[in-house]
Structure formats: structure tokens, C-alpha cells
Amino acid sequence: MSLHRPLSILLTSLVLASAAAGCALQAQSDDGASHLDQALTTNEGFETGSKAAYAAGNVSLSSGSWNMNDALIGTLSSDVKAGGAAARVRNSGSVTMNFDRASAAVVTVKSATYGSDSSGSWGLYSSTDHGSTWSKVGSSISTSSSLTSATFTVNVSGSVRFSLRKLDGGSNRVDFDDIAISDYSGGGGSGGSGGGSGSGASVSVHTKLGLPSAASSSNWNNYLSVKSQYVLAYNSSRKIPNWVSWELNSAYIGSQARLDNFRPDDTLPTGMPQASLADYSGSGYDRGHMCPSGDRTANAAANSLTFYLSNMLPQAANNNQGPWEKLESYSRTLAGQGKELFVISGGTGSAGTIGAGVVVPDSTFKVIAVLDQVGQGPADVTTSTRLIGIVIPNNDSEVAKADDWKPYRVSVRSIEVLTGLNFLSDVSSAVQDVIEPRVDNL
């Protein structure tokens, strides 16, 4: 029997882990410059700091200083929260950042009605002049007894801060928790920090729908490696890929047997830190393909390329050989039906290391855009296009090998918030904003 965590709890913990891992990477940059691949996500769960009274005041939290007006940090059993605490607001109270971010793409906030109080309403406000003036973002949100996520697309490329404001003015109380704010760097989509601007197709057919991040040959922690069978952004400080992207249709499928010629990537720059076969030996983790061997069986050369260790990460056996493999097989079934698939996969967060510093992600993610005909591209992605997103814990105790992949489905927008990446960055933002918040249910 699989020990599934509720998806809301899973994503909350993964977002926090991803941010923590990102901060650690930035600290260990080898040349003093920031080599961080994935855009950092500001997260606030109100688990640190203390404020027991409603009177206006500032409180130091893990993300920075916040002003809480007619608000406190609630830890009672009646506070609806993901962890041990939430921000509880009454009357026309607010919870406001006292600091700026350099940019913002997507803001996600969880909220609920406190205890047995009546439903409340609240809004998100933003300021691009250090808090002097504020503008409402999106629609007002009504609360219920359950902690529910609301997602706002902001796409601000300069300094910005945010405020959560209770709007109904009543004495009923509202809980806020798990605020997540992702970076924005001008990509074509509404999610994370992708390349965008129609740049994907100019790099490779495998990134036809857009680059998930602004990878380049000058950044060893976001190193763009273009191969004939897939494209990856390699992170030398983690010794695993940040993401791998590939096209899949029936032309890539043949009768070539699996070669199993695992090896370091001899196409990466000399001196770039990489995983070795010894790192995986006896580690207890599979050498988990991102672009799978089974997706490249047209000939020996194509299959061989999938066995570069740069295309792999340490993957729990129940994950790799269970729901992960089942989704790979299902993807090939769709390709055999004449569909055109664009797939992006990777790992997020850190559950430790193996060997000489090869990071073990605490989860694996995959995004699949399913187009109707081979040769289609960004212009053919519509609000009816099927988009599959999954996040699977990279831990044998939380996943059973017999599990299907479907229970692990989440929205692609939530994976963007989790990773700071921008999937489908060359697709119309209006289309992204319809299909990315959806959870596949076919």
C-alpha cells in the first residue's frame, strides 16, 4: 500500500525544500558569481517569529520583515494551517511585506476561515514603489473552512512587494498560510523564469515550446547542453540536470535494444564537475533517466545518448520503476497514436547526496504537452490542449512500485511555483493561464 501524502501538503513541503536547496547552491558558488539555475521562490509559512496580539507591529519571519496590522501569528487548534502556525487577520487587517523582491511572476497564497467564523474575503495588493502606493491584483477571494490555494499572475520585472488585506471588514477571522512568490525574468509565459521570447525553437526542436530557464553556455549551474536527442540544463554544483526537454513522436520509436552504456558526459566542458559511475555504485538509488532509453529506440546512436549521466539523477527505485516508468510507457502509447509530445522532467529540492556530492532530489517532476499532430508547435497549443504534470516523492517509503502515475498529478502552474521554471514559455500567456492551472483528469 502506498503512503501518499495529500497533494497540498506534499507541494507545500516541496516548495520549502526547493527554496532551501536553492539558497544552499548560491552560497557555494565557486567563483563568487551567482550560478543559481532555478529562480528562487520566496516562501512564508509563518513558522518562525512570534506575534500574539492583534495590535499593528512588525515581525521578523524566515523570509524577512512583515507588518501585521489587526493580525497575529495563530497557533491554536482553530487556526486552519499547513504546519504549526498561520497568519490570523480580523476586521480590515493586513499582512504586508516590509521588503522588496527584484521581480515576481506568480504569487500563491493559501487561506481559510478561522474556526467556526463566517466566511471572509480578501485581496492581494502589490506595490512597485517600495510601499508608497498599492494596486489590487486579480479578483477578491472568499474563504471556506478548508485551506485553499489562490494563484495570482503578476509578471513584474522590477522591485515589488505584496500585501494581503481582509476586505469584508467584519470581526470574522481569516487564516493565511504558505505564501509563495516566484521570480520573473521576462519569459513568454506567466509561470516561473523561463527563456521565452520565441527562443526555444531556435535552440532545438526539443525545446520548441520554450526554454524552461535562461540556460546558457556561460553558467555552469544552468549550463545549456543541446544534443540531437534532447536538451538539458545541467547544474554542476548538484551534478544533476535542472531540467531535460525532448520531443516524442512515433519517429523516435523503433526496435533498438537498450544499450546500458552508462557513462559521464564527454560533451560537457573539461573540468566541469560531473557524477561518476562510482557515485551511484552501492548508493541505493537508481540511475534515473530523465529522457528515457525507451523514448529513443530508432537506432543505436540515439539510444546511446540517453545513457549520459548528465541525463540522470539519483532516483528511488519505487519511483523510477513504478509510477515514473508507467507514465513513460503511457507517453509512448500516445506517440504511437500519432500524437506529438513535448516532455520536460527533472528533480527538485534535496534529500542529501550520494558519492562525491551528487544531490538526491526529494521529488521528481514531469510536464507533458500533448499535441494532436507531429510537427505542431507553440501556435498549435490551445486552451483545449492536454497538459500533464506530476510530482512524485523520491523516497521508497512514500511510493509503491505498484502505484499508477495518475494519483501524482498536479497542475503545471504548481510545478512552476515549486521549481521557479517557466514551462511552455513560448506559448501564448493567455493560453498558459488557462491550461497550466488545470490538473489533468483523463
- C-beta atoms surrounding 300 within 10 Å: 13
Distance CA 383, CA 424 (A): 13
First-residue to last-residue Cα distance in the chain: 23
Q: Is there a contact between 41 and 417 (Cβ–Cβ < 8 Å)?
A: yes
CA 327 – CA 322 distance, rounded (Å): 9
In this structure, what C-alpha cell is assigned to residue 91? Answer: 476586521
Catalytic: 289? Answer: yes
Give the number of other CB atoms < 10 A from CB of residue 28. Answer: 10
Pick the catalytic residue from 4, 130, 206, 289: 289
Active site residues: 289
